[in-house]
Amino acid sequence: MEKQPTVLKAPSILYLNQSDIIRLGGCSSHLYMEAVRHALILHARGEVVQPLKPYLRWREQGHIADRIIAMPAYLGGGRPMAGIKWIGSKHDNPARFGLSRASALTLLNDPETHYPIAILEGSLISGMRTAAVTALAARHLAKKAFRRVACLGCGPIAQMQLKTLLEQFSGIEEIHLFDLVPEAAWRLVAALRPESSRVKYQVDPSAEAAVRAGEVVITCTVADQPYLHYDWLQKGAFISNVSIMDLHKEVFVRADKVVVDDWDQSNREKKIINQLVLEGRFSRERLHAELGGILAGQKPGRESDDEIILLNPMGIAIEDIACAQEIYQRALAERVGARLSLYGSELEPLRGEEKQKAGEQVSLKTEVQ
C-alpha cells in the first residue's frame, strides 16, 4: 500500500517580535557568530541555494538607501531550512518619521512541506548578523593584536558592529568615531560606555582622522558617493565596507587582498566592484576569496602584518535564514512567541484535488462576509 503523506491538521506560524528575540539571546553576538559561520561554510561547500536579491524601487531620483529587498535562500547540510527576508529601507525615516531607517520581516518555510512555519522581526537579526560577519572576518583578516577601531557613521548599525567587536575582542583599547552629525557620535559613546568602561572613545573631526587612527575600520553610513581614499589607511589595516558605497575605486585596486561574502551578489549592477569589472580593472580572478572559503580553510586569511585587507560584505540571505533558524529553535524549546493560525480557527487546509479523488465533497465552513 502506498504510504500516505503526513498532513498537518491545523497549520500555524510562530510569530516572534523583537522583544521575543531579545529574550532568546538576540542582543548577544554569540548566537550570531556561530550561525553565520555555519552558513558561510555551507556557502563555501556549495550546499546553499541563494538567488540574486531583487531591489524594489519606485522613486526615479530616490536615495540609494531607499528600497525594499527580497532575500530568499535555502541552507542544506544537517539542518536544512528555507526562508526569505523582506527588508525595507528609507534613509530619512529617522528625521521625517522618528522611525529606524530599516525595517524587516524574516519568514521561515519547512523544507519538506514548504509551508511557512515562522515569522520573525528581522531588523535586529539583520543588523546583528552583519556585525557577526565583520567579527568573523576580523578573526582571520585583521592583525592579531589590533587595539584601535574606527567607525564611520554612528547609527544603530554602528552600535551593533561595535558591540559585537567589543564582545568578541577583549584587546580593543580605543574606538574612533565620526559622523556628519557629531551628536550622533556622542550618543553612540553613551550607549556603548556602560558595557566597555575600559575603552577610550574619541569623536574625531573628520572621516580621514578616524580612518587614519584605525587598525580596523568599519563604514556604517548611508553614503551614495565614495569619499574614503586608500592613502588614509595605515599599513596592516582591515576595513569592513559594510555600507558598500564609501570607498573610492583605488581602495579595491590597491588593497593587498579583497574578500567578499558572495561574488555574484557583490558584482551587481552599479556597485563599485561591478564598475571596476566593466572597466577591466577587477575580476573574480583578482578576488582573493569569498569569506566562507577562508572560514572553511580553503583560502588563507591575513599572511603578514603589513597587508591592507578589504572586506566588501553585501549581506546575503543565508546569514539571515541561519540566524532566524537558531532563534526559532530556541523559541520552540523555551515556548516563546505567539501562534498564528494559517487558515483561521475553524478552517483546515483545503485539499480539493485529493478530496475529490476520494469522492468527498469539499466545502468551506466559513465565507468572507
Q: Report the pLDDT value the prediction gives residue 195, as an integer from 0 to 100.
A: 81
Mean pLDDT, the chain, integer: 92
Asked if residues 141 and 309 have their Cβ atoms less than 8 Å apart, the reply is yes
Which grid coordinates belong to 275? 564598475
Q: What is the pLDDT of residues 245-260, one digit of tens each?
A: 999 999 999 999 999 9
**Domain limits, the chain:** 12-125+318-346, 141-315
Residue 360 has pLDDT above 80, yes or no: no
Q: Report the pLDDT value the prediction gives residue 176, as an integer from 0 to 100.
A: 98
Confidence of residue 359 (pLDDT cuts 50, 70, 90): very low
Closest Cα to residue 121, out of 93, 89, 85?
85
Residue 369 has pLDDT above 50, yes or no: no
Length of the chain: 369
Which grid coordinates belong to 229? 581614499
Which grid coordinates belong to 23? 529574550
Cα 14 from Cα 116, distance rounded (Å): 9
Q: What is the pLDDT of residues 275-312, one digit of tens each?
A: 999 999 999 999 999 999 999 999 999 999 999 999 99
Specify whether domain 12-125+318-346 bears CATH 3.30.1780.10: yes
For 263, left (φ over 0), alpha (ψ -120 to 50), or beta? alpha
Closest Cα to residue 101, out of 159, 61, 14?
159
152 bridge partner residues = 178, 219
Cα 109 from Cα 199, distance rounded (Å): 42
Q: Which CATH class is domain 141-315?
A: alpha beta
Q: Report the pLDDT value the prediction gives residue 55, as an integer from 0 to 100.
A: 93
Cα 247 from Cα 228, distance rounded (Å): 5
The answer to whether the predicted template modeling score (pTM) of the entire model surpasses 0.85 is: yes
Chain Cα centroid distance, residue 90: 17
Strand 174-178 to strand 238-240: parallel, antiparallel, or no bridges (unpaired)?
unpaired
Q: What is the pLDDT of residues 3-40, one digit of tens each?
A: 555 444 568 999 999 999 999 999 999 999 999 999 99
Q: What is the pLDDT of residues 200-237, one digit of tens each?
A: 999 999 999 999 999 999 999 999 899 999 999 999 99
- Report the pLDDT averaged over residues 40-65: 94
Asked if residues 49 and 304 have their Cβ atoms less than 8 Å apart, the reply is no
Other CB atoms within 10 Å distance of the CB of residue 83: 28
* Angle, CA 336 vertex, CA 330 and CA 342 arms, to 5°: 105
Q: Report the pLDDT value the prediction gives residue 345, as an integer from 0 to 100.
A: 65
Q: Report the pLDDT value the prediction gives residue 177, as an integer from 0 to 100.
A: 98
Q: What is the pLDDT of residues 108-154, one digit of tens each?
A: 999 999 999 999 999 999 999 999 999 999 999 999 999 999 999 99
Q: Which residues are catalytic?
A: 85
Strand 309-312 to strand 238-240: parallel, antiparallel, or no bridges (unpaired)?
parallel
